[in-house]
Copies of this chain bind each other. A is one copy, B any other.
Amino acid sequence: MNGTVVCFGELLLRLSAPGRERLLQTPRLQVQIGGAEANVAVSLARLGHDAAMAGTVADNALGEAALGELRRHGVDTRRMRAAPGRMGLYFLAPGALQRPSEVLYDRADSAFARTPASAYDWDALLEGAAWLHLSGVSPALGAECAQATLDAARAARRRGVRVSFDGNFRGKLWQAWNGDAGAILRQIFAETDLLFADHRDIAVALGQTFAGEDHEAAVAAAAQAAFAAFPHLQRLACTQRQQRSVDHHHLSALLLTRAGGRERAPGYELAGIVDRIGTGDAFAAGVLHGLIDGMDDARALRFGLAAACLKHSVPGDFNLVGRAEIEALVEEAGFHVRR
């Protein structure tokens, strides 16, 4: 495949309670590496792409471990910086039944968050890139991070690198520094080719709300407005999730195009979810893979949804499944033990 996919964002250490325990119910934590954009990078590397991560980690044993974990899964980490400071952490107690999962963020003042936008030389970082993948988490981390994200998107546009962006709107992060989410996202969306978002993300960017008789109608209305507002935007994709309980969901997906196309991927019943974190990132990576690989929109959407479905069965942030497994699900190859 031609051209690297560069993902920019923060790496986080995830510290999880074992099994279905509450945080520190017993004195052990399992450690995994995550981060919305890193999750996409790992998925793409495992699907056979040249995937590279850009960003900043702490120059200590934790930062080194985070980089090692990306490398282990085939992601190129040579575009990463290490700087004094701390790693962002999050503590997770996975839920069950009617008890929601609980995430406790401890990511403020991380080496990533404190990196000035000027520390990134985007022309060098995008050398050889075909795509740049961003998400709404990075600009929410502070003015410098927002600027860096925008710099990245603009440099990509300038160099002919295509841009994908995953909404991932986190109100609390924006509020923490009084960031103008609308204004910033609007500028980023203006450089975006492929948007993973629903009507709520677009509402933030455009400052208007979208409604409809159902979720799909609202998304469609928002997409129409987005295509109008952002001339580079070609496609918008999102999942649709119904939660019967914390560990039993139904998941389907939708993809809309500037040309008016609308694809729906039939849904999966997810009863007995193992790990819900990172499933949106798995979806984005799956759709991106499909499009890079030359699938048509419908197929790319189904591939993305199948990837997201399988992620629910894997512990951790990363979607540790392979292309053949995703294809097998798309092809409904059944649930027999693979020997």
Which residues of chain A have a CB within 8 Å of any CB of chain B?
A: 15, 19-32, 60-62, 65, 68-69, 71-74, 86-87, 89, 91, 93, 95-106, 108-109, 170, 172, 243, 245-248, 268-274, 276-277, 306, 309-310, 312-316, 320-321, 325, 328-329, 334-339
Contacts and interface: CB of A to CB of B under 8 A. Distances in A.
B277 A22 contact: no
B337 A103 contact: yes
Contacts of A105: 339
Q: Which of A98, A104, A270 has the most chain B CB atoms closer than 10 A to its own CB?
A: A98
B170 A339 contact: yes
A28 B27 contact: no
Contact of A61 (B30, B73, B91): B91
A308 to B, nearest CB: 11
Given A22-B314, A97-B272, 18 more contacts: A20-B313, A20-B314, A20-B315, A23-B61, A25-B314, A25-B315, A28-B31, A68-B72, A72-B72, A97-B274, A97-B310, A98-B310, A103-B338, A245-B335, A246-B313, A248-B272, A271-B272, A272-B272
Contacts of A325: 99-100
A50 B339 CA distance: 32
Contact of A268 (B98, B172, B314, B315): B98
* 8 nearest CB pairs, A to B: A24-B65, A96-B313, A72-B72, A99-B313, A68-B72, A243-B335, A97-B313, A27-B31
Contact of A335 (B29, B246, B321, B328): B246
A282 to B, nearest CB: 12
Q: Which of A22, A23, A104 has the most chain B CB atoms closer than 10 A to its own CB?
A: A22
Contact of A104 (B20, B28, B62, B336): B62
A97 B309 contact: yes
